[in-house]
Structure 1
């Protein structure tokens, strides 16, 4: 991390409770969480907004994660690509997740899923190029305006989150890294892994 943040042993009050809940569920406080503690007044609203978007997502949590994963590739964000690859590997299988990362248009997804991820990728690359015709395409495939808004929100929120992580030097934790060095390299779409992270993963 490039900036000073609140370490788990230093946390008090609401931040300590947030950290404790993450340790209980994941065994650690992720840098993706801790990095927000440089602004203690912001960390809880950020966490709350993430849960509000994800837990109320009109297309379900799996699609939220698919959108996040594809958006991370195009931001580009190595941190979020590694983390969501691990999450989707558990949900869909490692080979399916890898196929989506490589080319979501040729990963055996439905036309509707491909269109959803095309929109997420377009937002992540350059949202100013989205046209009304793009939205009509989504509607023609059965997406409601609420669904479309949610896709846009998930992709845009990921760009915000991922760029902050890179800006303050958050690095992916070793437990989220794939065992295969070639896959780790593929998923490092933005910032490259540092040697210490790679050595730690190899040692584990």
Structure 2
């Protein structure tokens, strides 16, 4: 559990109140990790602005696939669960369960698999990456702008996931996730040594 002293919802004002309200509108409650990050509301909003800039030419499906792959490689229960829910905006649950369990055998296109492998590689051993990695994306038809945006999206997930892990933020389980999808999202994390135990949160 994070040691950070957070602001209760009833006492939030200004930027913190806006951040809390965004969570309420999206999830029906303010996530514990949102309260932790809102200790520095300017940084939180700057991150949101960065994601907006990265995804302005990227569809939701692509962004969420990249995010789920990076979060899996990082062993991030926080981001796997949060973005598992968000991914339902663009991917039906049956397909998403298969992707979450093993995206290599989920019927994805070769380009999508290559993109997710790239996000995993960036998240586990970026120092060993070479132009061979980016050329592989180009061979699958991605433009230079798309390659950069894929890289930025995966790198941004590293920033957020590692921040939440470092401050020991409590993991909220969105109640809108079905038990089947929740299990599919969390089970692969075992191979990466994820230790965070989710706390169920009622909406």
Gaps of 5+ in 2: none
Distance 2:73 2:154 in 1: 10
Equivalent residue for 2:138? 139
CA RMSD between the two structures: 2.4
Alignment correspondent of 1:121: 120
Shift of 1:126: 0.9
CA contact (8 A) 2:101 2:188 kept: no
- Shifted more, 62-71 versus 86-95: the winner is 86-95
2:31 paired with 1:19: no
Considering Cα pairs closer than 8 Å and 6+ residues apart, tell me whether 1 or 2 has the greater RCO.
Answer: 2
Asked if 2 retains the 8 angstrom alpha-carbon contact of 1:89 and 1:96, the reply is: no
4+ aligned runs moved over 6 Å, structure 1? none
2:197 corresponds to 1:193? yes
Q: Structure 1 residue 45 and structure 2 residue 46: aligned?
A: yes
- Displacement of 1:103 in angstroms is 2.1
2:183 pairs with 1:179: no
The answer to whether the 8 A contact 2:23-2:30 is kept is: yes
CA contact (8 A) 2:15 2:41 kept: no
Contact 2:111–2:140 under 8 Å retained in 1:
yes
Q: TM-score, normalised by structure 2?
A: 0.84
Instruction: Give the Cα–Cα distance (whole angstroms) in 2 for the partners of residues 192 and 16 of structure 1.
Output: 28
Q: Which segments of 5 or more consecutive residues in structure 1 lack a partner in the other structure?
A: none
Q: Aligned residue for 1:73?
A: 72
User: Greater helix share, 1 or 2?
Assistant: 1
Please give the secondary structure, in 1, of the residue aligned with 2:133. Answer: helix
Point out the more displaced range, 157-166 or 87-96. Answer: 87-96
What's the CA shift string for 1:35-72, capped at 9, x where partnerless?
21222442222232233323x1x331210011001110
Q: How many residues end up aligned between the 2 structures?
A: 197
TM normalised by structure 1 equals 0.84
